[in-house]
Chains A and B, each alone.
Chain A
């Protein structure tokens, strides 16, 4: 019996980067916010570089609660879509250059808690899919700035999964 040789690391990396880039490019609003995604294996970290247009309260100054909420929502939706397409991507059933790409989940409810005011610095977020069903999925997401142990906002979202 012959074993299939492992794929070259460049092939694996470029396939994953292409799929992630395609996913992120599919949401114009992510570009508007200026957010991007760092990837280590299947782990994603959403990064929101600071920009003056994200300010809500110029007196403190603090990030706008709406910008924070939008960042968390974007992080949650991309994590869910990413974890959903992982298997198909790894098994070569998804072509990032193809016209059609899997549809994104739709947000049903989004609940955000503000824990401390957002500073005028870069922000990071990581999301966890706590339940992924055929029709519904639940995602938790947490955002921090300087200290990972001191999140400044967290959110729970329920999504409607796209029809297969």
Chain B
């Protein structure tokens, strides 16, 4: 028997494959959301309970033409999407999620011309609620543009 075929039979391996299938599914679902698409979002990474989404710089999303800085609303939308994706990637396999609240601190203006990347971690879930931390950076990853915390509803899959 080929090593890879043997690997598929173990119970943990089956779980792992289910998990990676779910991560791919979550990535595809988040990427297909109309509003995420209109903002040009690309899901670059999904892992257990975390997701990374990038949004390219686009002049239509400018908040202040004098400086070319992106509007906070576009960054909020990116951070909200990344947070929802992180919830969907949680090992508890939620069927669906919706934002309950999201608080975002804007620490500095995003550098014009640079893509924004949001990394979200779903660090805790209860039966009905998921808790998320999210950070947005531009090319200078050592100085976040914005940080947020959110709570999300968690719809459990039907038994």
A residues near B (Cβ < 8 Å) are 26-29, 31-33, 52-59, 62-67, 69-71, 73-74, 103-104, 106-114, 117
Contact = CB atoms under 8 A, between A and B. Distances in A.
Interface in B60-113: 60-66, 70-74, 76-81, 84, 96, 98-106, 109
Contacts of B109: 106
Contacts of B105: 108-109
Interface residues of B, number: 39
A132 to B, nearest CB: 19
Given A108-B105, A117-B98, A64 B36 contact: yes
B14 interface: no
A28 B73 contact: no
Contacts of B35: 53-56, 63-64, 66-67
Interface of A is mostly: mixed
B60 A29 contact: yes
A65 to B, nearest CB: 4
Nearest to A25: B65
A108 to B, nearest CB: 6
Contact of B64 (A27, A31, A54): A27
Q: Considering residues A32, A55, A65, A70, which has the most beta carbons from chain B within 10 angstroms of its beta carbon? A: A65
B72 A107 contact: yes
A26 B84 CA distance: 31
Given A66-B35, A66-B77, A73 B101 contact: no
Contacts of B77: 64-67, 69-70
Contacts of A52: 34
Contacts of A33: 73
5 closest residue pairs by CB, A with B? A66-B77, A70-B73, A64-B35, A29-B71, A65-B99
Contacts of B101: 111-114
